[in-house]
Amino acid sequence: MNQSNHTVFINHLNFITNTLGISLCIKDSSGFTKMLDSNLSMILIEYLLHTNAYCVYMKSARSVCAQCIQSAKLIEKKCNKTNSPFFGRCHCGVLEYIVPIIHPQNGLLGF
């Protein structure tokens, strides 16, 4: 991905978050950002980290953080099973809209 494509992609993500007022987090469960482009994970850093203030606060407790990690594994399984977007509610009550990132040959890359 070249620099102009990086800029366009980041601009789209920023537009979505700013226009809709939502937190957007990319779960790179396969390491695809590093495979596609060594700079991509650095460029996307603010979207690769789950920075929702409520979630960060809740995950400050180890037991809640462990539940969050387990939930991500369950979401990944559901993504593999459905191959389509779905709504969910995490164990702390946050509504989430999950969109699987699927590659035709490699399957699920993340969500």
| Percentage, residues of the chain above pLDDT 90 | 59
3-state secondary structure the chain: CCHHHHHHHHHHHHHHHHHHCCCCCCCCCCCHHHHHCCCHHHHCHHHHCCCCHHHHHHCCCHHHHHHHHHHHHHHHHHHHHHCCCEEEECCCCCEEEECCEEECCCEEEEC
| Percentage, residues of the chain above pLDDT 70 | 97
Q: What is the mean pLDDT of the chain?
A: 89
Digit-coded pLDDT (tens) for 6-44: 888 899 999 999 999 888 999 998 888 888 777 888 888
Q: Is 111 exposed, middle or buried (0-12, 13-18, 19+ CB in 10 A)?
A: buried
Q: What is the pLDDT of residue 99?
A: 95
Say whether pLDDT at 1 is over 70: no
Q: What is the pLDDT of residue 3?
A: 67
Digit-coded pLDDT (tens) for 37-60: 778 888 888 898 888 889 999 999
Closest CA to 106 of 30, 41, 48: 30
The pTM for the full model equals 0.81
